[in-house]
Amino acid sequence: MATNRTFTMIKPDGVANDHIGAILNDITKGGFKIIALKYTKLTAENAGEFYAVHKGRPFYNDLVTFMTSGPIVAAILEKDNAVEDFRKLIGATDPTKADAGTIRNKYAKSIEANTVHGSDSDENAAIEGNFFFSQFERF
């Protein structure tokens, strides 16, 4: 059964290009409730651990460098069928292939600087939410 939570980050390009407010608005209008929210900056160690699944891929080192290049916004979101519906809201990894109206279509500049992260499974949503938030930071 699909759980009702997913995890997202507004990546360094989304923050640097002043899209935090617009993206949170899109998320809310998309029917997601924000149940945890944090403005922070990843260390290389944090980013390496978060993206460990991609270790060894050609883009891994650039991804870690990019994800540590500036502050990010992390959030846990709640909605029925959250993981799948959120990935629809953000669009394809490559923004040139993202459907019109999706967050990546509207704000992303490249496959790397693609503005938002969305968990790819219920299991990873729980792992990623726990990576950023304690039980005292989710409501």
> What residues make contact with Mg ion under the rule CB under 5 A?
120
Closest CB 136 distance from Mg ion, rounded Å: 27
β-pairing verdict for 5-10 and 72-78: antiparallel
Answer yes or no whether residue 12 interacts with ligand RTP by CB under 6 A.
no
For 93, residues 6+ apart whose C-beta sits below 8 A from its C-beta are 104, 111, 114
Position among 73, 83, 95, 117 found at the interface with ligand RTP (CB under 6 A): 117
**130 in a labelled binding site:** no
Is 117 noted as a catalytic residue in this protein?
A: yes
Is the separation of the CB atoms in 21 and 84 below 8 Å? no
Buried b (16+ CB within 10 A) or exposed e, 106-119: bbbeeebbbbbbbb
Position among 47, 63, 64, 98 found at the interface with ligand RTP (CB under 6 A): 63
Residue ranges in contact with ligand RTP by CB under 6 A: 59, 63, 93, 111-112, 114, 117-118, 120
